[in-house]
Amino acid sequence: MRKPLIVGNWKMNNTLQESLSLIEGLISNRLSVDRDFVVCPPYTVLSLAGKLLKETKIQLGAQNMHFEEKGAYTGEVSALMLKELDVSYVIIGHSERRKFFGETDLQISKKIFTALNNELLPIMCVGESLAQREGDYHHRIIKKQLVEGLKLVDSSRASDVTVAYEPVWAIGTGKTATSEQANDMLGFIRTILINLYGESMAENIRILYGGSVNSSNVDELMIQPEIDGVLVGGASLKSDEFLKIMTYSDRG
């Protein structure tokens, strides 16, 4: 049985002070032990967040890392540096990294490999653009991103990877994929994972949906059989809104 996973991606938002009040708002509440929760602040906040989240139900994630272990890569951060700050998860291949920083499937595959070697749990993002969906080749795009991005992950490590399907046209736009569109694509992703790793291993891999998730649409998404959790951007920046998402369907 896969445990639901709720992830907040703060992107390039929140100073230390803003982060402090956001995290304090999140940890002052009782959270279900049957779900996993992760927040991914910017690098500058990881140290503080690691201290505040210790002994809580919320785990710490980073938004990116370099694929090399160390070296002359000005401005970059390594997996080991993240581990030192009590980071457990790392988002890899977010569409904003692909779009604004030219990240390729090859780089993404190396990052996933290095993350796993350093005992970080990668959250691998895949997603098609609006033109690709309207051209009806979105399945081909997702398959390519998955196969190329996972090519350095063998089946013994596959269950440590989480896949997040985030259609680019739904990120930060207020347009969510319908729960059926999301469920269909996640089912398709599962069949690719089964082809890559076999049924019993692929059954352990969590697949999330991301793209304009908020407290009003999370219940409908989370009742879909293929959806194991959500990756949330904008709506994770306010503690009351993110708490409503974290407690989906528990609210009376």
The catalytic residue positions are 94, 166
Q: Which is nearer to ligand PEP, 4 or 234 (CB)?
A: 234
The three-state DSSP-derived secondary structure of 16-46 is: HHHHHHHHHHHHCCCCCCCCEEEEECCHHHH
Q: Which is nearer to ligand PEP, 63 or 107 (CB)?
A: 63
Q: Which is nearer to ligand PEP, 9 or 179 (CB)?
A: 9
d(C-alpha 186, C-alpha 207), whole Å = 7
Name the site residues for ligand PEP (rule: CB under 6 A). 9, 11, 166, 171-172, 210-213, 231-235
Sorted by sequence, the CB contacts under 8 Å of residue 241 that are 6+ apart come out as: 214, 215, 235
Residue 24: CB atoms within 10 Å: 11
55 to 11, 23, 51, 88, 221: CA distances (angstroms): 24, 13, 9, 14, 29
| CA 246 centroid distance within chain | 14
Residue closest to ligand PEP (Cβ): 233
Query: Do 121 and 115 contact (CB within 8 A), yes or no?
Result: yes
Q: Which is nearer to ligand PEP, 5 or 213 (CB)?
A: 213
In angstroms, what is the minimal distance from the CB of 216 to ligand PEP? 13
In angstroms, what is the minimal distance from the CB of 142 to ligand PEP? 16
In angstroms, what is the minimal distance from the CB of 248 to ligand PEP? 14
237 in helix, strand or coil? Answer: coil
In angstroms, what is the minimal distance from the CB of 199 to ligand PEP? 29
